Each structure stands twice: as C-alpha cells, then as structure tokens.
Amino acid sequence: MSANTNASSEPTRPAQYLGFSLAGETYAIELLRIREIIEHVPITRVPGMPPAVLGVINLRGRVVPVVDLAVKMGMGPRPITRWTCFVIVEALMDGERTALGLLADSVSEVLDLGPDDIEPPPTFGTRAPVDYLRGLGRREQRFILLLDLDRMLSADELLGLVGAAAGGGA
C-alpha cells in the first residue's frame, strides 16, 4: 500500500566508542562525548564531595571536576600507574555543556560497533549497576560494557560537581 518511510537506503553506520579499563574490566563511552584524553595530573581535593568525586584539575586554565567511575560503581580506589589518565567528556546540564574528567586505569582502543554488535545490558554478572549500562558491545571473542554517562552522572551530582568547580580552584 504505502512505502515504508522509516527505511533508509543507506546502511546504518557503526557508532564509535572509546574503550578503557577500570579495575580490570573493559568499558566504553561514545566517542562523540569525549573531548580529549590527557595524562594524569595532580588533583586538588574539594571538601564535602561524594567519594567518587576526587576533586578538580586545571585544564589549560579551566577548572574541571574529576570523577572516579570505579569508585562510583563500588569497585574502590586503584593505584595510579603510568597508564592512568583522564578522559575529558562533555556532559549536558541544563542545556549547557560541562567538561568533566573521568579517571581511567588505561585507554585501549577506538571501537566501531554497529547495531548488530550491541546487545541489551546484562541483568547480572557485571560489577557495574545495570542502570549505568547502555548495552554490551560484542568485539570478536569478548564483550565490552557500554556506559551511559547521562545515567551515571545524575543531574544532582553534576550540579554538585559544577558548584565545587566554580567555588574552588586548581
């Protein structure tokens, strides 16, 4: 009767994700959310922040809050190594882009994952709460947990981070 208007003539392009390690597990974040990756620099602690908020760093004169995702997911702190780095991401808060540093044990690779390579989040067997996962990326013989930054970093927490960054300096 009528043509399917939802069908596209070109195939769906794979999405790109940055793979990184936290406490021995591989996670990934959409590449479009990432501004840059920088080496570990000293963190200025900010009193009164939740344990997952390590403090702030100075990024070319800008104050950037730093979150340890492993601590947020209940894995606890890990030692800083020569591969430890910050993944600087953009979080949307009240329609404004806010820079946020995520502590990673190491960064591994950029992954191209098409719709057929992504499964729904597993309901068990991961250390990350299911609410924090967008899905499970399949890459050759292994799986990568795809994080949902918007769910992991709630609006209340982001407001606290931004307030701390505005009130303190690095």
Rounded mean pLDDT for each run of 10 residues along the chain, 170 residues in total: 48 85 91 94 91 92 91 85 94 77 94 89 72 84 86 62 53
Residue 6 lies in a domain: no
| The Cα angle at residue 36 between residues 30 and 37, in degrees rounded to 5 | 100
Three-state DSSP class for residue 170: coil
Question: pLDDT at position 86, please?
Answer: 97
Residue 82 lies in a domain: yes
Question: pLDDT at position 4, please?
Answer: 46
Q: What is the CATH number of the domain that holds 27?
A: 2.40.50.180
Residue 120 lies in a domain: yes
Question: pLDDT at position 35, please?
Answer: 94
Neighbours of 8 (CB within 10 A): 8
pTM above 0.85, yes or no: no
Residue 4 lies in a domain: no
Residue 118 lies in a domain: yes
9 alpha-carbon distance from chain centroid: 33
Residue 1 lies in a domain: no
Q: Which of 17, 120, 20, 143 is nearest to 70 (CA)?
A: 20
Residue 9 lies in a domain: no
Structural tokens at position 145: 């947990």
Question: pLDDT at position 169, please?
Answer: 45
Q: Number of structural domains, the chain?
A: 1
**Can you give the residue range of the structural domain that contains 160?**
15-167
Residue 86 lies in a domain: yes
